[in-house]
């Protein structure tokens, strides 16, 4: 398993095509119950280019008034988030070995023009737990930076079926999604294809 940096592991093709298709069906069910929404930036209210939803006990949300946070309910429907599909819980156990279950799975949907600027994940109280990221659909150019924004970043391609585990010192690295490269890879599996070009699932402990 290629270790990109201390605590950062890339598993290319962790999900085979059958597993990707099964997961796409699970995620389509989640999206049907918990529709994609557009988060806005704290203070400015600027919309993010990535559309989102969540599954699991908690979900990541953001808006102008209250900023980044975790909530137990969907911001538009007010319903609790759908449960995390078993396949995600299994991937978490297999790849992280972490004894506690993930509390939140953020589902990011990128169209061809969406991106995510360089940032740290620091809205969680538990920094000891790893983060697991699973990708479906189009390739993207992913930036893995350092502990400071200005630190030099490495670039890697994340493809459909790839997993990334961020633990220890890599849990708090700056990172971002530079560019979606839909011409290089599979379209999203059928039940998700109409939604965008790339889907990323980020599993986290929160408390």
Q: Which residues would be at the binding site for ligand MD5 (CB under 6 A)?
A: 106, 108, 116, 121, 131, 133, 144, 166, 170, 173, 175, 177, 200, 202
Q: Which is nearer to ligand MD5, 34 or 131 (CB)?
A: 131
Q: Which is nearer to Fe ion, 16 or 127 (CB)?
A: 127
What burial letters (b/e) apply to 32-41, b meaning 16+ CB within 10 Å?
A: eebeebebbe
- Residue 143's alpha-carbon distances to 13, 17, 33, 58, in angstroms, are 19, 25, 32, 26
Query: For every residue of 49-103, which 3-state class applies, written as one string?
Result: EEEEEEECCEEEECCCCCCCEEECECCCCCCECCCCCHHHHHHHHHHHCCCCCCC
Q: Which is nearer to Fe ion, 20 or 200 (CB)?
A: 200
Determine if 121 is a binding residue for Fe ion (CB under 5 A).
yes
Q: Which is nearer to ligand MD5, 118 or 193 (CB)?
A: 118
58-66, 75-83, 114-122, 140-148 -> range binding Fe ion (CB under 5 A) = 114-122
Q: Which does 61 bind (CB under 5 to 8 A by kind): ligand MD5, Fe ion, none?
A: none
Determine if 124 is a binding residue for Fe ion (CB under 5 A).
no
3 state DSSP class of 187: coil
Q: Which does 124 bind (CB under 5 to 8 A by kind): ligand MD5, Fe ion, none?
A: none
Please say whether the beta carbons of 170 and 69 come within 8 A: no
Least Å distance, CB 25 to ligand MD5, is: 20
Phi, psi of 37 (to 5 degrees): -135, 165
Q: Which is nearer to Fe ion, 131 or 188 (CB)?
A: 131
Least Å distance, CB 50 to ligand MD5, is: 7
Compute the distance between CA of residue 99 and CA of residue 28 in angstroms, rounded to an integer.
28
Least Å distance, CB 202 to ligand MD5, is: 4
Least Å distance, CB 16 to Fe ion, is: 26
């Amino acid at each position: 398993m290629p270790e990109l940096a201390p605590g950062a592991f890339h598993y290319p093709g962790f999900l085979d095509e059958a597993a990707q298709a099964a997961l796409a069906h699970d995620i389509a069910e989640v999206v049907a119950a918990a529709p994609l929404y557009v988060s806005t930036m704290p203070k400015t209210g600027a919309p993010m280019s990535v559309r989102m939803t969540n599954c699991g006990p908690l979900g990541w949300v953001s808006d102008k008034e209250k900023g980044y946070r975790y909530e137990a309910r969907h911001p538009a429907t007010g319903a609790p988030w759908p449960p995390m599909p078993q396949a995600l819980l299994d991937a978490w156990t297999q790849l992280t070995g972490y004894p506690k279950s993930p509390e939140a799975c953020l589902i990011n949907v990128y169209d061809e023009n969406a991106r995510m600027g360089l940032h740290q994940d620091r809205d969680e109280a538990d920094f000891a737990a790893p983060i697991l990221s699973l990708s479906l659909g189009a390739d993207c150019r992913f930036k893995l930076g350092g502990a400071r924004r200005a630190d030099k970043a490495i670039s890697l391609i994340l493809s459909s079926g790839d997993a990334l585990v961020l633990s220890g010192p890599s849990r708090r690295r700056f990172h971002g999604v530079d560019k979606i490269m839909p011409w290089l890879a599979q379209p999203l599996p059928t039940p998700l294809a109409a939604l965008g070009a790339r889907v990323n699932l980020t599993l986290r402990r929160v408390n």
